[in-house]
Structure 1
Amino acid sequence: MSSGFGLIVRFTLRDEAAAAGFDELVARTVPEIQKHEPGTLAYVVHSVPDEPLTRVFYELYADKAAFEAHEEQEHTKRFLSARGKFLTGFTVTFLEVQAGKGPVSS
């Protein structure tokens, strides 16, 4: 089994209107990921209690090639192009599997 390739992205949104717009963008993008990306094992969008202007994405791919394929999808490019107008910033943390239970193992 592959060791997988993962990341966490933390988005900070401008205001409540921007949060609503961002959530709509996500709602249009996620079904395309589900439909067209077999190498995307998990793509989970979280809200954060007590931080209404924060969204956290957890992404897990079969391998780095699956992540690169995700980045080349038209729906991903549209998301990446449109997200900026909703944000004050974001951070990306790349992950390596240490141990655990899930669709991939080390």
Structure 2
Amino acid sequence: MGFGLVVRFVARDAAAAHAFDELADQALDGIRAKEPGTLVYVNHAVPNEPHVRIFYELYADREAFEEHERQPHIRRFLAERAQYLESFEVTFLNEIAGKGASTDRAAR
């Protein structure tokens, strides 16, 4: 069953938002190369909120997420992101049903 999260990041200013995006891009390179259990990992800009980023992440299961968290590229991202941010908020998600990257079935 899929496991996911949504994270809302608020950067300090435009320069910090740009640097944060570069840091996220570097992490994404590692995710693409080394994380088959990471099904979706997307950094979104928010219209009319230039300092806000929303990450949507979907993993094959909780173990895939935990493996993601252990990766060197993610440990670096987690260690360095604070210098660019005013705040962040994480919402964890457990799949109920849907169509998409993790399943095309009703999970109930």
Q: Assess same fold via TM > 0.5.
A: yes
Aligned residues: 104
Instruction: Select which of 25, 28, 34 maps to 2:26.
Output: 28
Q: CA deviation at 1:27?
A: 1.5
TM-score scaled by structure 1? 0.95
1:67 partner amino acid: F
In 2, Cα distance between the equivalents of 1:82 and 1:102?
A: 31
Structure 2 counterpart of 1:42: 40
SS of 1:10's equivalent?
strand
Q: Deviation per CA, 1:45-77: give whole Å up to 9, x if none.
A: 100000000000000000000000000000000
Structure 1 gap segments, 5+ residues each: none
The runs of at least 4 aligned residues of structure 1 exceeding 6 Å deviation read none
Q: Deviation per CA, 1:72-91: give whole Å up to 9, x if none.
A: 00000000000000001000
Identical counterparts, % of pairs? 56
Map 1:49-88 onto structure 2 (within 5 A): 49-88=47-86
Q: Deviation per CA, 1:19-64: give whole Å up to 9, x if none.
A: 1110111111101101100000000110000000000000000000
Structure 2 gap segments, 5+ residues each: none
Q: CA deviation at 1:104?
A: 2.3
Output the aligned Cα RMSD.
0.8
2:101 partner amino acid: P
1:96 partner amino acid: N
Q: CA deviation at 1:103?
A: 2.5
TM-score scaled by structure 2? 0.93
